[in-house]
């Protein structure tokens, strides 16, 4: 079985990977929302300075993961380059189209995986991950075969 993939990486792919890997990032929006509600209560109670300060802080907390991911993506010299990959029953061999970067991921060495709305996030350990976007697959059948391969080789998907 060989599955060929090709995609243009995007900051959203990285963002999905970070959310699937780092629990704090997943919860930051909820924390920001709670902080915003408390700030609104302060405004209603007649405390405009702490209320406005709290709302500004809530917005910053909610925006930081997205801003951080986009900045990291832009600063990475190979982040936006077209990637190709070959998936066989044992490994994923990824390379940028221009040959500047290469990764060989042995499926049995993965610590886990998760599936988000747009990506398969492969956990490599120590907080490392590789996002494989669903748009990289040529067909739904290839996508299903890849999912089945991950379940057989690594185990069931992580709950995120």
- How far apart CA 142 and CA 6 sit, in angstroms, is 13
Q: What does DSSP assign to residue 130?
A: E
Task: Give 126: exposed, middle or buried? Use CB within 10 Å, 0-12, 13-18, 19+.
Answer: exposed
- How far apart CA 120 and CA 128 sit, in angstroms, is 14
**Comparing C-alpha atoms, which of 31, 56, 61, 28 is closest to residue 42?**
56
Residue 93 clears pLDDT 90, i.e. is over it: yes
Residue ranges per structural domain of the chain? 3-8+83-152, 19-75
pLDDT of residue 160: 56
Q: What does DSSP assign to residue 79?
A: T
pLDDT digits (tens, 9 = 90+) for 39-49: 999 999 999 99
Which residues have C-beta within 8 Å of that of residue 96, sequence separation ≥ 6?
Answer: 78, 81, 82, 83, 84, 102
pLDDT of residue 100: 83
Q: Give residue 127's pLDDT band: very low, low, confident or very high (50, 70, 90).
A: confident
Q: Which fold has domain 3-8+83-152?
A: PH-domain like (2.30.29)
pLDDT digits (tens, 9 = 90+) for 54-85: 999 999 999 999 898 899 888 988 888 999 99
- H or E element, residue 124: strand 119-125
pLDDT of residue 104: 93
Q: Give residue 38's pLDDT band: very low, low, confident or very high (50, 70, 90).
A: very high
């Amino acid at each position: 079985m060989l599955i060929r993939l090709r995609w243009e990486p995007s900051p959203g792919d990285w963002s999905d990977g970070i959310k699937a890997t780092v629990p704090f990032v997943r919860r930051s929006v909820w924390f920001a929302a709670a902080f915003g509600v408390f700030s609104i209560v302060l405004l209603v109670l007649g405390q405009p300075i702490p209320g406005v300060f709290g709302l500004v802080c809530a917005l910053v907390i909610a925006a930081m993961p997205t801003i951080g991911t986009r900045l990291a993506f832009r600063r990475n010299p190979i982040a936006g380059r077209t990637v190709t990959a070959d998936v066989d029953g044992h490994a994923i061999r990824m390379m940028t189209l221009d040959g500047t970067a290469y990764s060989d991921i042995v499926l049995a060495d993965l610590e886990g995986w998760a599936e988000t709305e747009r990506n398969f996030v492969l956990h490599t350990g120590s907080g490392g991950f590789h996002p494989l976007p669903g748009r990289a697959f040529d067909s739904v059948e290839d996508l299903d075969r890849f999912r089945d391969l991950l379940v057989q080789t690594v185990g069931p998907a992580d709950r995120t």
